[in-house]
Amino acid sequence: MVPENYSRITEFLLVGFYEEPEWQPLIFELFLSMYLITMFGNLLIILAVSSDSQLHTPMYFFLCNLSLVDICFTSTTIPKMLVNIQTQSQIITYEGCITQMYFFQLFGVLDDFLLTVMAYDRFVAICHPLHYTVIMNPWLCGLLLLVSWIMSALYSLLQSLMVLRLSFCTVLKIPHFFCELNQVIKFACSDTFLNNVMMYFATGLLAALPLTGILYSYFKIVSCIRGMSSAQGKYKAFSTCASHISVVSLFYCTILGVYLSSASPYSTHSSAVASVMYTVVTPMLNPFIYSLRNKDIKGALKRFCAMAAIKGTTVLGMKNSP
């Protein structure tokens, strides 16, 4: 039962990066630039894969979905932050905070699952190349994507419902630029034991299982590569995994940075900075990692840009013709 002196709050204050007003224009331009780069880069990946029939394979199907999830993931936090800076406001409504937490966790967990599925795809491609198209058929790819969505949605829904049962007796000043689950739970006036147990258990489980799957896939991949006799074959096999390894390393290193910075009770600012690496920088760099290290993507982007230029020239010529 909720004590009588607890009142249902209607809003939170997001105070991350708002302490020094003179820095606000620079922070606004920096985050706007990173957001636009993230949107542009990931949209290019989606358009390149969708428009090129040579890239209609399981590997690029999952890459396309990863880019879409990265767009959604970044869009759950950055637009609200930019609006708050522009309007000189730190307020986010209670409903808006719960909604932001739900979608932030949904797309964050979905990112993790997709990276795991992509590791499995590379494992099948390298260790079972003759049966790749049979194993990674459209039905299995769709099923893996659907399961990833369902698991992510259930996790996010569970955590959000657990927060709804909490009561808050004062206006919350969250030391972040978005509603971070752990920070919101810390400021609750009601008992948070069940929330903490569920949060750490579910988060640990959903972090350990995908990471175990990724490590196991790459353990088998390394074993297969070592068994190859051709040096060229080894290089080609490893090069198909290089981009994915880079993205996975960046993803988990930034998560580790967020965890270590939030573990200290005196590092709220450093925790917010670490969260920027996880929520903004990683989705922004993913398209560059995949496009710069992948000849197929670079070729598809060149063909897409050439096709767009031809269409633009044709349309312009038709407008100028008498």
Share of the chain above pLDDT 70, in %: 88
Distance of alpha carbon 121 from alpha carbon 313, whole angstroms: 40
What one-character-per-residue DSSP string does 163-183 give?
A: HHT--BSS-EEESSSS--HHH
Cα separation of the two ends of the chain: 78
Q: What is the pTM of this model?
A: 0.88
Residues 258 and 270: their CA atoms lie apart, in Å, by: 9
- The answer for residues whose C-beta is within 8 angstroms of residue 86's C-beta and 6 or more apart is 28
| Cβ neighbours of 19 (radius 10 Å) | 9
Instruction: Give pLDDT, residue 5.
Output: 45
CA distances from 133 to 24, 57, 151, 296 (A): 52, 9, 26, 18
- Residue-wise pLDDT for 52-90, tens only, equals 888 889 999 999 999 999 999 999 999 999 998 888 888
The residues of the chain scoring below 50 in pLDDT are 1-6
pLDDT at res. 173:
82
The pLDDT score that the predictor gives to residue 2 is 43
Helix (H) or strand (E) segment spanning residue 100 = helix 94-127
What is the Cα–Cα distance from 292 to 243, expressed in whole angstroms? 9
pLDDT for 4 = 42
